[in-house]
Amino acid sequence: MFGRKKCVVGLDLGSSVVKAVEVTLDGPEPVITGFARAEIPQGGNVQEAVAACLQQGKFKSKKVVVSVSGQNVVVRYVPMPKMSDNELKQAIRFETDKYLPFDLDQVVLDVQALTRAPGSGNTEGGAKPSNGDQVTVLLAACKTQSIDERVQLIQSQGLTPVAIDLDLFAIANAWELCGAPPTEDDEGGATRAIALVDVGATRTSINVVVRGETCFSREINMGGQEMTAAVARRLGLEPYEAEAMKRNAETHELEVNTAIGPVLEDLVSDLMLSLDYVENHEGVTVEQIMLSGGGILAPGVSNYIEQGTGRTTRIWNPIEGLRVDSDRVNVEELEAWASTLVVALGLASRVRSE
């Protein structure tokens, strides 16, 4: 009972900003005990930003969880016969050639049987009812090289990597950590789902959650950098000037909105394709979109996505409801950047399994 408290740092290695959140368990309760962020300047690198972030944060823990994303990561939802976990891990290796664009010896993969059966839910959306003898298996794979690079980066800072996650799943873990209520079926029997959408600098992560469990995830190669570039082109600014104007557009809101409009139109189009797909194939109704990430700091993004998708959309504060150690954390700064910390917080939520 007098032992050290469990404590983990979630380190989000973004393409433009490195963000870190430390979560400590006080009994069963997660407490935010550290926070830092460091922007990667033009010509800088991730390693320097990580060092700056760690120096600023003065974290207690040396245990770190990082994530991978992008073209070296593959996630698939595979229908499989019901079997034990050990049998599943053996059987999936014979199915990977159908789902992975990489050779099996090039990747690290993992699988997880989900509670929800393939095509379960309201069949009015086009999903086929399951025969009851199958389960949906979540297959995640990442090139070994990408994982090795992450491990080496963390170890070079004197830290211990305890897990490597995917951005796609970190946002769902953050949703669970903050105590969000599970979705419930509506009165007509349709299964409700929530789309967690994290708009980063270079890519947007989508995870559709139903009854506390993922049923669809995807990355779109589009994000805040496209918006910044659009503002820079339209107004003749340097990228750093356009980024500052995008975040603080009080006096130039019309110009910024006009510039980023085509980018948001493309983003909404891809988002709609994803939501239509999951509704038709999984028999769910995605009624709400929860937005996060640095790409949503531009004015009017939430309203544009709400109007374009026809779904209730709001910006998500992932630290709402969590206790913060104000002696160690600048609460005002944490709140200011809260919507950009979803991945980092989701990674730190791994402290519960330590």
- pLDDT digits over 6-26, tens only? 999 999 999 899 999 999 999
Are 7-69+145-179+318-353 and 182-316 the same fold in CATH? yes
Domain boundaries, the chain: 7-69+145-179+318-353, 182-316
Query: Which band of pLDDT confidence, cut at 50, 70 and 90, is reported for residue 250?
Result: confident
Q: Does the structure show a pLDDT above 70 at 99?
A: yes
Whole-angstrom distance, CA of residue 228 vs CA of residue 216: 29
Q: Which amino acid is at 109?
A: L
- 182-316 fold: Nucleotidyltransferase; domain 5 (3.30.420)
- Exposed, middle or buried, 86 (CB in 10 Å: 0-12/13-18/19+)? exposed
Query: Average pLDDT, stretch 95-99?
Result: 87
Percentage with pLDDT > 90 across the chain: 70
Query: Which band of pLDDT confidence, cut at 50, 70 and 90, is reported for residue 185?
Result: low
Whole-angstrom distance, CA of residue 281 vs CA of residue 123: 9
> 193, 215 in Cβ contact below 8 A?
yes
Which residue in the block uniquely carries the two structure tokens 């946002």? Answer: 171
Query: Average pLDDT, stretch 146-169?
Result: 95
pLDDT tens for residues 252-295? 888 999 999 999 999 999 999 999 999 998 889 999 999 999 99
Task: Give 17-38 as a DSSP string.
Answer: EEEEEEEEEETTEEEEEEEEEE
> 107, 100 in Cβ contact below 8 A?
yes
pLDDT tens for residues 202-241? 999 999 999 889 999 999 999 999 999 999 999 999 988 9
Q: Does the structure show a pLDDT above 80 at 2?
A: no
CATH code: domain 7-69+145-179+318-353 is 3.30.420.40
Q: Does the structure show a pLDDT above 50 at 333?
A: yes
